[in-house]
Amino acid sequence: MIPLFTIGFLEINWLDIADILLVTVLLYQLYKVLTGSVALKIFVGLLSVYLLYLVVKAAGMELLTIILGQFMGVGVLAMIILFQQEIRRFLMMIGKSSPLNKDNFFLGFPWRKTESENRINLTPFIEAAKSLAGKNTGALIVFARSSELKFYADSGDLIDAVVSKRLILSIFNKTSPLHDGAVIIANNRIKAARCILPVTENNDVPASMGLRHRAAIGLSEVTDSVVLVVSEETGQISLVRNGEVYRNLAAADLRSKLNHFLFDIEPKSTAAPAGEKSVPVA
């Protein structure tokens, strides 16, 4: 391949530039996954040991080279064990951003045509959220999208019931044995209640957000689900998607956001609704 230019004895061509750009993107994505967690410090520690290994090897220090060489020999296996959660998040992030994962990619196929015609009725959720917020009763409702979230549904009690406002209010009643946890909505039905969600490890989450918000953020980081949160402390209604929290939503704003996030229906107004605050934490 014909070089574009040379730097000393190095010949740079288009393939080298593409290689550097791809490595830069990869390192940036790794930084996004690791930032805000203790895993970043572990990664920096391993990198420091590797740089030390290169220095002692170049200096000809045989004893240290052998010791560090044995350590580096199991470095890949150690990284897989130490960073299994981060590796999973990284692969999930790639999968979420892949064109093959976009809902509209398969909309042209016959088996997907009925999906847009069978949209879930949002009114019971909005009315229930308003009622729960007025009583300062906490709630956590997950709207499954490309995945039915079977793993998380199995962590709770399977219900498979028709959606209704009364049932949602009954589940999140403080005296109900099902109120402690999340409700998962899949295939237009209440699939399960009292479900356990993964809590985000991101340290940038504001202290004003409690465990419900952290659980909603954690699930939205590893899936494409949309999560509705009613705060027990403030009574505020929030939506969480892709690690971003949209707080203090009124009923009209909640409906607009749900239509946009679940059905890709653009809001009528492009201006941000009053009282809405987006908190990026991913």
Q: What is the pLDDT of residue 33?
A: 66
pTM: 0.63
pLDDT in tens, 215-231: 999 998 888 899 999 99
Span 113-153, pLDDT tens digits:
444 446 789 999 999 999 999 999 999 999 998 877 888 99
pLDDT for 2:
66
Instruction: Give the model's pLDDT for residue 190.
Output: 95
pLDDT of 273 reads 40
Q: C-alpha 115: how far from its chain's center?
A: 24
Confidence of residue 64 (pLDDT cuts 50, 70, 90): confident
pLDDT average, residue stretch 163-167: 95
User: What's the whole-number average pLDDT of the chain?
Assistant: 81
Beta strands 139-143 and 277-280 are unpaired
Closest CA to 240 of 210, 264, 220: 220
| Higher per-residue pLDDT: 268 or 72 | 72
Percent helix, percent strand, percent coil in the chain, to nearest 5: 50, 15, 35
User: What is the three-class DSSP state of 246?
Assistant: strand
CA distance readout (Å), 112 to 106, 116, 154, 250, 263: 7, 8, 26, 32, 13
CB 200, CB 214: distance < 8 Å? yes
pLDDT of amino acid 128? 96
Domain ranges of the chain: 3-95, 122-263
- pLDDT for res 185: 95
Sign of CA dihedral 149, 155, 156, 157: positive
- In CATH, 122-263 is 3.40.1700.10: yes
User: What pLDDT does 249 receive?
Assistant: 94
Of the CA atoms within 13 Å of residue 118, those in its CB half-sphere come to 9
Cα 51 from chain centroid (whole Å)? 33
